Amino acid sequence: MIRLSFDRGSVVSEGGPVPYGKVDARSGTYRAPAFRYRQIVEHLEREGVAFSDEVFRKGSRLQLSSSIVLRDYQEEALEAWSIEGHRGVIVLPTGAGKTVVAIKAIESLGEPTLIVVPTLVLVAQWRARLEEEFGVEVGVVGGGAREVRPLTVITYDSAVLRSEELGNRFGLLVFDEVHHLPAASYRRIGTLYAAPYRMGLTATLSREDGGHVSLMDYVGGIVYEMEVDELAGVHLAEYSVETIHVPLTTEEQREYDSGFSIYRGYLQSRGIRIRSARDYQRFVMRSGRDPEARRALLARNRAMDLAMNSSAKLDYLKRIFQSYPDEKALVFTRHNKLVYRISKEMLIPAITHQTPRREREETLDRFKSGVYLRIVTSQVLDEGVDVPDASLAIVLSGTGSSRQFIQRLGRVLRKGEGKKAKMLELVSRGTAETRVSRRRRGK
């Protein structure tokens, strides 16, 4: 008879081979990646092989009950996930209720569950929501907390570090913002945990590096997907997106043209064409060994810095505030230096990755209560922040990622009585930033 057990991120088989297993010469056992546990068990059952399963620490099923009533599309998402063997990725816009779908999945499955999230803000939000719905104490691992319970919320960083201890304690893994999982530092979570049931949640799955393809093995494929436009005006707020092309000042335009001239001249002299992120990465690597490439890269970076952080944008931002004096607004930038400049000049609370957690929470609480009408931030609030009554998003600068664009739009899409959300995107006219804007909007 084969005996299955768990050891340091592996399923160990004593007494015979198993699929995906490799012989451990020291012990004479077979070892397979932990995430293959379900496939191994299904294979042994299908082939009629006798085995004892000691992989999981046996515990009683969770007896949970919530008052949540799912919307029709949320029920469809949960059913699609169930049909696929309780595995797969659910793609829904921010504000469409991905969290409640996961909560109903936890309730219906009754398995000890580990919810993996990217930030401590999300840890707190998930814990509060789970305790509110189920009336049970929820464990937390991350940010100095190390309390493990049958229902536990953990950061991606801690899930990596604690995999040997926790890898066989949860039957269900819920990956919030699952697009983080393929990152080199996090994908081990997908392989080192034995959980047979897995759910991924995201507003947009694709990654520019193509890493999302690996989620098929770790979580499952997309089982349900809905776009923003399918829910806007019904379950999400009506919205509009407007791109405003702002001219640089005369001095800024001169400096921009000078910098980009150096960059383009170098590319032309070497016959280099930048058509993709990979092409650009090759150019950056080349700058490490070619002084002229280094000079061209620095000139390009200075030019883009001018375009994204122009003083003309700040003047236009003041006009926007005058036009929307009572709107609760989130201002997004790519770089912290512009965040702090706006905060100082316009007396607007700022949140960046450098902001202490308590200060961040106080700022968001005052924003939600209406004490603050505006917050300026860099990329730290792109995801995982619940601001239901924010109605205006102003993007001063960002990456070419469509995911970031959708996430920022999602900050203002939560439904409200008579609410009409608006995103204003400021782009420096006549610069390469216009291409960045088109790329993130898929145009």
Question: What range defines the domain where residue 22 resides?
Answer: 2-53
Confidence of residue 413 (pLDDT cuts 50, 70, 90): low
pLDDT tens profile 135-191: 999 999 998 999 999 999 999 999 999 999 999 999 999 999 999 998 888 999 999
DSSP strand pairing (350-351 vs 329-332): unpaired
SS3 of 296, please?
helix
Q: How far apart are CA 343 and CA 323, in angstroms?
A: 19
Per cent of the chain over pLDDT 70 is: 92
| pLDDT for position 97 | 87
Residues 200 and 318 in one domain: no
Q: Based on the fold, state whether residues 314 and 286 are members of the same structural domain.
A: no
Work out how many domains the chain is built from and give that number: 4
Q: Is residue 41 part of a domain?
A: yes
Q: Which helix (H) or strand (E) holds 201?
A: strand 197-202
Highest mean pLDDT among 16-25, 58-67, 148-157, 202-211: 148-157
66 in a domain, yes or no? no
Per-residue confidence at 390, pLDDT binned at 50, 70, 90? Answer: confident
Q: In this structure, is residue 61 part of a structural domain? A: no
Distance of alpha carbon 146 from its chain centroid, rounded? 23
pLDDT in tens, 240-268: 888 999 999 999 999 999 999 999 999 99
Domain CATH for 12: 3.40.1170.30
Region 337-355: mean pLDDT is: 92
Residue holding tokens 């961040």? Answer: 360
Where does a domain end: 308, 325, 342?
Answer: 308
**d(Cα 167, Cα 187) in Å, to the nearest integer?**
14
Q: Tens digits of per-residue pLDDT, 45-85?
A: 999 999 999 999 776 789 999 999 999 999 999 999 999 99
Do both 243 and 387 map to the same domain? yes
Instruction: Tell me if 257 is assigned to some domain.
Output: yes
List b or e across 307-337, with b for residues whose CB sees 16 or more CB atoms inside 10 angstroms: bbbbebbbebbeebbeebeebbbbbbbbbbe
Structure tokens at 272: 């280099």
H or E element in which residue 103 lies: helix 98-109
From the list 360, 363, 362, the residue with the least C-alpha distance to 352 is 360
Let me know: does 443 contact 402? Beta carbons within 8 Å.
Answer: no
Give yes or no for residue 421 having a pLDDT over 90: no
Report pLDDT for 210: 52
Query: Is position 67 within any domain?
Result: no
Tell me if 375 is assigned to some domain.
yes
Same domain, 360 and 397: yes
Task: Please give the model's pTM, rounded to 2 decimal places.
Answer: 0.80
Same domain, 81 and 216: yes
Running DSSP on this structure, what letter comes out for residue 441?
T
- If asked whether residues 92 and 210 sit together in one domain, one would say yes
Question: Residue 96 falls within a domain, yes or no?
Answer: yes
User: What does the pLDDT look like over 103-141, one tens digit per residue?
Assistant: 999 999 999 999 999 988 899 889 999 999 999 999 999
Q: What per-residue confidence (pLDDT) applies to 216?
A: 81
Least confident of 42-51, 134-143, 315-324, 357-366: 357-366
Q: Which two tokens stand for residue 96?
A: 């469409």
Instruction: Tell me what pLDDT residue 423 has.
Output: 86
Residue 183 and residue 104 share a domain: yes
Query: Is the confidence at residue 415, as pLDDT, over 70?
Result: no
* Pair (265, 314) in one structural domain: no
